[in-house]
Amino acid sequence: MVFFSLDVFLNLYCSGQTSKVQKGVAIFSKCLLMPLLLLLYLSFVGRDYIIWVVYALSFHTVGDILLIPDKKVSFGLGMTAFLLGHLCYAKAFFISSIQQNYLILIIAVSIIALVEVRAYRILSEKDKFFAKAALSYSIGIILVIIAISFRFNATYIMALTGISLFAFSDFRIGLNVTKIRETSKAVVMATYIGGQALMVCSFII
């Protein structure tokens, strides 16, 4: 918990800074975020871990690393890694399903679908390649929401808030990449970390 909290602090503090040292710290701490969160998860659940959560955080670690270079090929591979991570999260939620709530499912998927379509239209005005990649990637977000709706219990709101923060962070990244609107890197990272932490915590509580 201490190491993860320290890494989060360093990343948020150094994100968006201009000096080479602070940029280096931000990159290094970003690469450690998901491995430390994975260790934190394993320390709480012990042998009762869900392997698909481990896979999800592993793919997201790869995605974090691939998104560091400012190149389209690397970015596309990073998006693919995150999509695979989302599919693993969806699998984890499905296998731990408790009670289905189809009303929540319809409402949640409808909202996120409308947001994703709106996001695609905005992003496609500047960069069609990125917009198409983001639209394909959004399928993973929707699948996670569907899977969460099959786990309707006390941790449902926590998990749904987590994936919503994740989606918000992704959208802000899209605005930054396409130069439509600049968003603070600290805001992007804070919502990303918060989303990941809430989803993982929903498997612990």
Confidence of residue 146 (pLDDT cuts 50, 70, 90): confident
Lowest mean pLDDT among 8-12, 44-48, 135-139, 198-202: 135-139
Q: Distance (Å, rounded) from C-alpha 48 to C-alpha 167?
A: 28
pLDDT at 175 over 80: no
pLDDT at 180 over 60: no
**Structural domain boundaries in the chain:** 2-204
Q: For the whole model, what pTM was predicted?
A: 0.81
pLDDT reported for residue 153 = 65
- Where is pLDDT greater, at 140 or 102? 140
pLDDT in tens, 54-80: 999 999 999 999 988 877 778 788 888
Q: At how many degrees (to 10) do helices 128-149 and 102-124 cross?
A: 170
Count CB atoms within 10 A of the CB of residue 12.
18
Tell me if 144 sits within 8 A of 89, measured CB to CB: yes
Compute the mean pLDDT over every residue in the chain, rounded to the nearest whole number. Answer: 81
Contact partners, residue 177, CB within 8 Å, separation at least 6: 75, 127, 130
The number of angstroms, rounded, from the C-alpha of 47 to the middle of its chain's C-alpha atoms is: 25
